[in-house]
Amino acid sequence: MFVLELTYTAPVERVDALMAEHVAWLDDQYAAGVFIASGRKDPRDGGVILAVGEDRARIEAIAAADPFTVHGVCAYRVTEFIATKTAPELAPFRQQPAG
């Protein structure tokens, strides 16, 4: 599982101008089963996305395709973790550590 942390690198007005494109990109990733939660940070200086997948390079490529990234209004920090314990609703995403 991955935590994608977005930090805005441009004024929020530029971010807002791209919001519809960003939401459409989010919707595509939810439909593909990659994203399981997302939202803006408080204070509003970026956002957080929870993503599932085994391939970090694929997750990084998805983040690179975000209109926010393409237009240079945010930077991503991708953190991978092993979700060994979850709420019952997220049980399908539980993982076992290797070795």
For residue 97, pLDDT beyond 90: no
Q: What is the pLDDT of residue 98?
A: 79
pTM of the model: 0.94
Is the pLDDT reported for residue 99 higher than 80? no
Which one is predicted more confidently, 97 or 85? Answer: 85
What share of the chain has pLDDT > 90, as a percent?
A: 94
Residue 54, pLDDT score:
86
pLDDT(22) > 80: yes
Name 51's Cβ contacts closer than 8 Å, sequence gap at least 6: 1, 2, 3, 4, 29, 34, 35, 36, 59, 62
Residue in 34, 17, 4 with CA at minimum distance from that of residue 71: 17
Look at residue 5 and give its three-state secondary structure. strand
pLDDT digit string (tens) for 28-70? 999 999 999 999 999 999 999 999 998 999 999 999 999 999 9
